[in-house]
Copies of this chain bind each other. A is one copy, B any other.
Amino acid sequence: MNSSKLTVGIDIGGTNTVIGFVDDGGRCLDKTVLSTQSFQDVENFIKGCTDTIQSMEEKLPKASMLIGIGIAAPNVNYYENTIDMPANLKWDKVNLVDMIRTVYDCPVAIMNDADAVALGEMNYGAARGMENFIVITLGTGVGSGIVVNGQIVHGAHGLAGEYGHTIVVPNGRQCGCGRLGCLEAYASANGLRRTVFELISSHQFKSMLSQFSFHDLSGELITDAAVHQDPLALHAFDFTGRILGQALANLSAIFDPESIILFGGLMQAGDLLFGPTSAFYEQNLLNIYTGKMKLLKSNGNDGLMSILGACELVRRKIREKEAA
């Protein structure tokens, strides 16, 4: 390998944190996965991350140089560099940028995970060449990264892009945010589980899924059942696609994007979810948009795309600084 300027991307998830070294061509040279929950508190977590970066650095060729660290995380306030009480992490309001910079005196930047995926898709993924597109992340929750005129929409207070918390079913299911009927309560992995339980309660399906407790039921189990033509599981994906497709058609009417890219753990279900979502999307699209905008699957592996985006973020910040 030639001498090169490397960046580190850290993708913080509720379950796992992935740390990767990325070169200036967007290639991930090395990757380590940590268990986010295994750290007692945020101080220990940061120490775990910086220790990992140091030991990964030692294995790199001598000619390479770490020039910056980018972080993708949930509930980031982009203007304040803070994570504000993320639902799946036991932290209060923390500034990870400042914490990492006490160890690494290089540029460090942070952004929302869905925004990082959008930056990744724009530079290395399905959105290359696009200036107006939206990434929807379908995982434990539902997030969105919105790009208008080539810029991520951060909003007036750094809190834009909470499409998972728009109400799509008035007086519908209670969401983790306390309100009723949010998209996240339907189109997330957890929403899919809830749909299975709703269908068990309301229908007479014979299903292999009826043997699982709510605790034990997972997106993988539901996908597996659907692959085996379990009628309840297929119905659950159809119901999810119906709500998600309509929500994405609404989003198209607001933004008139080139494309909407679906990303995240739930997309491991592939066409089981993408098929009905796509059908109900087209069905609900205002006629002036027909044929103009595409629903796409992300071709990026989960952890990697947000790492690439986080690295692109810090490279942009470095370029801006150099230009100033």
Contact = CB atoms under 8 A, between A and B. Distances in A.
A284 to B, nearest CB: 7
A177 interface: yes
B250 A158 contact: no
Interface stretch (A21-29, A51-59, A143-151, A210-218): A143-151
Contacts of A146: 254
A260 to B, nearest CB: 11
A149 B158 CA distance: 12
* Secondary structure type dominating chain A contacts: loop
Interface string A112-148: 0000000000000000001111000000000010101
Interface residues of A, number: 47
Given A167-B250, A170-B246, A156 B284 contact: no
Interface string A74-109: 000000000010000000000000000000000000
Interface in A151-172: 151, 153-163, 165-170
Interface of A: 84, 130-133, 144, 146, 148-149, 151, 153-163, 165-170, 177-179, 246, 249-251, 253-258, 284, 286-289, 292-293
